[in-house]
Amino acid sequence: MSSCGFLNMATIGDFDPLNATIPATKVEITVSCRNLLDRDTFSKSDPICVLYTQGIGSKEWREFGRTEVIDNTLNPDFVRKFILDYFFEERQNLKFDLYDVDSKSTNLSKHDFLGQIFCTLGEVVGSLGGRMEKSLGGIPGKKCGTIIVKAEELSNCRESVMMQFCGNKLDKKDFFGKSDPFLVFYRSNEDGTTIKVEVYDWDRDGGHDFIGEFSTSYRELSRGQSQFNVYEVINPKKKGKKKKYLNSGTVTLLSFLADIEVTFLDYIKGGTQINFTVAIDFTASNGNPAQPTSLHYMNPYQLNAYAMALKAVGEIIQDYDSDKMFPALGFGAKLPPDGRISHEFALNGNPQNPYCNGIDGVMEAYYQSLKSVTLYGPTNFSPVINHVARYAASIKDGSQYFILLIITDGVISDMAQTKESIVNAACLPMSIIIVGVGPAEFDAMIELDGDEVRISSRGRNAERDIVQFVPFRDYIDRTGNHILSMARLAKDVLAEIPDQFLSYMKTRGIKPSPTPPPYTPPGHPLQTQI
């Protein structure tokens, strides 16, 4: 018998099974400023920085915390840090306000305002090396200086350990056949010095039979395979009853491999870019865009479901893409001038360069194409999946990861080809998000999602799960709060991305790049004397 035990020495805070979410990644924020406004007559300003955050789907700013006051400087490096929970799948808006402190009062209105910036936490961690520099604003007609915000991921304990054990001559508990042993590990005290291991014989009905136990420590196990790591398995009851009892068998450590767990933010900090492509369904089943019943209706007063899904997901991902140029594609339409049907056309009308500037540029191209193309059909996904896969296949070194957002109203026409495309894409640095809009049945999409059954094509299983499907209707806020609807949608569709990203990097053995040095503007070249 050789059973593999996996022992992770990290501690996860108090576990609440009712609200069982993965413990949040914590990020430590450090603030510095340069060239602040001077508001004091006889000396320099005495600055303080105040951080505000917003609740999910809320526009109200709440004070999160304050740094210390640094006297008499326009270039403060604040020591007190802000520790925030970081979620890739949320748009976490931040506001930094600076004041010149003039008295002991905690009331900020009693102090001089020195400027502010608005940003997202994603913008900070997505900046080169986790360091964002921005001009302070908020005072018309004045240059307020700059702010430097740095993000550092706080790691609990990142060391994970893979150990392999084998058992010898363990007591036979089954009447017929041999035992089916397994090990249970307990950390007996907080500092992890003693580890108790119990050995059981597995039974189908759950009433596993106790074989015996032994104790060890992390230090002993870390020696790896040696005579010290052969343990006698003792059953205290048997030992008490039988004088000649020696043991109930032995367990031997065969291997001990310690590894440092890398995180999503390690890759982002090392410069990995996330490329975002959107593909929009222009099939006739969406309804005539000129009619209010159409899913593509251009209501001057509010976003339609396509625009909401695009904005909700795109505004979060854009923080991780430094050039903010996004390819935007459409499928299922007849194109001008000759009415040919396309399942992979550029929304901006330029097939050589389908890139749009920022999410606003994508929205603009979407609205323009609605005016020029004719909705048609069928609903084919594979051409747009293959389009992104071609790019992903050319950059497999871990410097880029691709996310394709497909927004569709429903029933897919090329199911077999789409499955084949997804199985092929599962080996590439890419993930696919499908948002279903409108009232259709989305059974085929649930199959593509692969959460229940891993997707396969022609007998080949997808190497990993890369598709996340959600129907937009499940997220619409009953009170009409679209900000909340969009935040809920984004939270759900993006939640799996960091793990999908890590599974690609780990299976390919790609390590994060070291953090690049901070940018320094080029100085004057030295004159060489001849």
The pLDDT tens digits for 278-302 are 999 999 999 999 999 999 999 888 8
Four-point Cα dihedral 137, 141, 142, 146, nearest 10: 30
The residue among 389, 391, 375, 451 whose CA lies nearest residue 418 is 389
Percent with pLDDT over 70 in the chain: 91
How far does CA 135 lie from the centroid of its chain? 28
The pLDDT tens digits for 447-489 are 898 877 889 999 999 999 999 999 999 998 888 888 999 999 9
> What confidence score (pLDDT) does residue 5 get?
35
Residue with tokens 């097939």: 351
**What would you measure as the largest C-alpha separation in the chain, in angstroms?**
96
The answer on pLDDT for 130 being more than 90 is yes
Percent with pLDDT over 90 in the chain: 72
Averaged pLDDT, 377-404 = 97
| Cα–Cα–Cα angle for 305, 308, 312, rounded to 5 degrees | 145
Two tokens, residue 50: 């105040």
Averaged pLDDT, 132-154 = 96
Using CB atoms within 10 A of its CB, is residue 263 exposed (0-12), middle (13-18) or buried (19+)? middle
> What confidence score (pLDDT) does residue 152 get?
94
Averaged pLDDT, 215-241 = 90
Residue 8 CA to residue 3 CA, distance in Å, equals 16
The residue among 368, 427, 362, 350 whose CA lies nearest residue 392 is 427
Residue with tokens 């350990």: 161
Beta-bridged to residue 94, according to DSSP, are 53, 119
Averaged pLDDT, 354-358 = 97
Confidence band for 528, pLDDT divided at 50, 70 and 90: very low
Q: Do you find a cis peptide bond into 337, omega within 30 degrees of 0?
A: yes
Check: CB of residue 46 under 8 Å from CB of residue 69. Answer: yes
How far does CA 256 lie from the centroid of its chain? 30
> What confidence score (pLDDT) does residue 525 get?
46
> What confidence score (pLDDT) does residue 18 get?
38
Averaged pLDDT, 329-348 = 97
Mean pLDDT of the chain: 89
The answer on pLDDT for 151 being more than 90 is yes
The answer on pLDDT for 444 being more than 70 is yes
Two tokens, residue 245: 């009892």
Check: CB of residue 511 under 8 Å from CB of residue 259. Answer: no
Confidence band for 157, pLDDT divided at 50, 70 and 90: low
Give the CA distances from residue 54 to residues 49, 61, 95, 134, in Å, rounded to whole numbers and listed in that order. 17, 5, 9, 20
Averaged pLDDT, 388-413 = 95
